[in-house]
Amino acid sequence: MKIAMIGWEYPPFKAGGLATHCYGLTRSLSDKNVHVDFYMPKTKHSSNNDKSNLKIIEVGETEIFPYDRPDSKEIVGNFYEAVYYYNSLVVSKIEKNINKYGKYDAIHCHDWLTIKAGISLKEKLGIPLVLTIHSTEYDRAGWLYPNQWFIDIEKEGMQKADRVIAVSNFTKKVIVEKYGIDPNKILVVNNAVYPIAEGSKKEIVLFLGRLTIQKGAEFFLRAAQKVKDFEPDAKFVVAGAGDMLPRLINQAIDLGISDRTIFTGRLTEEEVKHIYSISSVYVMPSVSEPFGITALEAISAGTPTIASKTAGFSEAFKNCLRVDFWDTDEMANKIVSLLRYNPLHKTLADEGKREIDLFTWDSVADKTIDIYKGVT
């Protein structure tokens, strides 16, 4: 079986869970004797690959940050142009490769940014199209002022794809209800994780993610303030970069917790692993979260996790704590409980690590292969 997969990020270049997903999926597919050509925009870093069935093919010259929410008209114009340009380059590159090496059994796209290319290949060459939705425009906008331009592209892709893969039932529901897609062609495949080693735990409460409305870091800070008086030694780490960083720093000052809150900025992969490994509590207070791979990463490192109730992760994972993202009292109650009650911390860490074993890329690949077989 031969698949053309179109993405836009791949480790070490990484802005979000999509890169992690594509990395795990393509490697496990290639172990299962599926030939994957992974197309992505050119980056400054070269992607590492040691799998013989897997080829990383970089296209064009632009780096695109699809999670950025363009504000000014000018940037928006450039941004859209860059996306169209990337898609058209991908189409011609794939056509060229087909002429040279033969046809693909299926095209597999990830999220809105690659949809145009997928549709045009399907329409021109009649190759079946599979589309994975890692997040929708509604998620990225935190359900406030979603951009119709993105929604239209997403909708067209979902309609034209032969199968849509949703990363959770939560996302499947959004695809059915907000995009009007037939539920029978949507399959849920949860994300997975390559486990991270556990380190020696410090009294650190961690937030890790893009600092955008979607990820809810402001609620983390409000909970931190409530924890402060109860756990005087606790430190709060906000790891990640994003357009909300200045506002969050001001918020921490206003809340009187700037002396115990650390803003790390963007971390390298090694630093990310380290901070997971030494944190005692991970909080994922996302306003909207189709899945939330970071929760799996934290738990694999022995860090109990408090996740937003609406996150796809918390519907799929038993051994975690769940809160409403806006309920910072309850979030604080759970943070304090985890810091204070060792048996709770230990049981969640142990049971969580056991459950993590169910979330392997190997099984994601198996499910994805079944879906390929259904369309070819």
Partner 1 sequence: MTSVCMYFEVHQPMRLNKFSVFNIGKEDSHSEYFNRKLNEQIFTKVAKKCYIPTNNLLLELIRKHDGNFRVSFSLTGTFVEYCQEFMPEVLDSFKKLFRTGSVDMMEETYYHSLSSLYDEMDEFEDQVKIHRQMIKNIFNYKPRVFRNTEAIYDNRIAKKVADMGYKGILTEGTEKILGWRSPNFLYKPTNADIKVLLRNYNLSDDVGFRFSAQMWKGWPLTADKYANWMSQIQGDIINLFMDYETFGEHQWTETGIFDFLRHLPGEVLKHDHMDFVTASTAVEKYDAVGEIDVPWAISWADEDRDVSTWLGNDMQLACFNELKDIGRKIKEKKDTELLATWRKLQTSDHLYYCSTKGLADGDVHAYFSPYDGPYDGFINYMNILQDLKQKIQTF
What does the binding site for partner 1 look like in residue numbers (CB under 8 A)?
Answer: 226, 230, 318-322, 329-330, 332-334, 336-337, 340-344, 346-348, 351
**Residue 120 or 310: which CB sits closer to partner 1?**
310
**Residue 41 or 352: which CB sits closer to partner 1?**
352
Least distance CB 214 / partner 1 (angstroms): 24
Least distance CB 359 / partner 1 (angstroms): 15
Least distance CB 304 / partner 1 (angstroms): 8
Nearest to 243 by CA among 77, 70, 16: 70
d(CA 284, CA 311): 9
Q: What is the CA radius of gyration of the chain?
A: 21
Could you tell me whether strands 2-6 and 261-265 are parallel, antiparallel, or unpaired per DSSP bridges?
A: unpaired
* Residues 279 and 306: beta-carbon distance below 8 Å: no
Residues 6+ apart with CB under 8 A from 139: 171, 174, 214, 288, 289, 290
**Residue 115 or 323: which CB sits closer to partner 1?**
323
d(CA 113, CA 39): 12
Q: What is the DSSP string of 31-55?
A: HTT-EEEEEEE--SSPPP---TTEE
**Residue 164 or 316: which CB sits closer to partner 1?**
316
d(CA 38, CA 93): 12
Question: Tokens 């090694």 correspond to what residue?
Answer: 270
Least distance CB 193 / partner 1 (angstroms): 20
Least distance CB 41 / partner 1 (angstroms): 42
* Residues 310 and 323: beta-carbon distance below 8 Å: no
**Residue 123 or 329: which CB sits closer to partner 1?**
329
Least distance CB 132 / partner 1 (angstroms): 29
Question: Tokens 């099984």 correspond to what residue?
Answer: 363
Q: Counting beta carbons within 10 angstroms of the beta carbon of residue 374, is it exposed (0 to 12), middle (13 to 18) or buried (19 or more)?
A: middle
Q: For residues 329, 244, 314 and 357, what is the CA-based torsion angle, rounded to 10 degrees?
A: -120
**Residue 211 or 338: which CB sits closer to partner 1?**
338
**Residue 162 or 327: which CB sits closer to partner 1?**
327
d(CA 259, CA 7): 41
Least distance CB 327 / partner 1 (angstroms): 11
**Residue 58 or 327: which CB sits closer to partner 1?**
327
d(CA 302, CA 356): 10
d(CA 230, CA 223): 12
Least distance CB 317 / partner 1 (angstroms): 11
**Residue 101 or 341: which CB sits closer to partner 1?**
341
d(CA 189, CA 374): 15
Least distance CB 369 / partner 1 (angstroms): 27
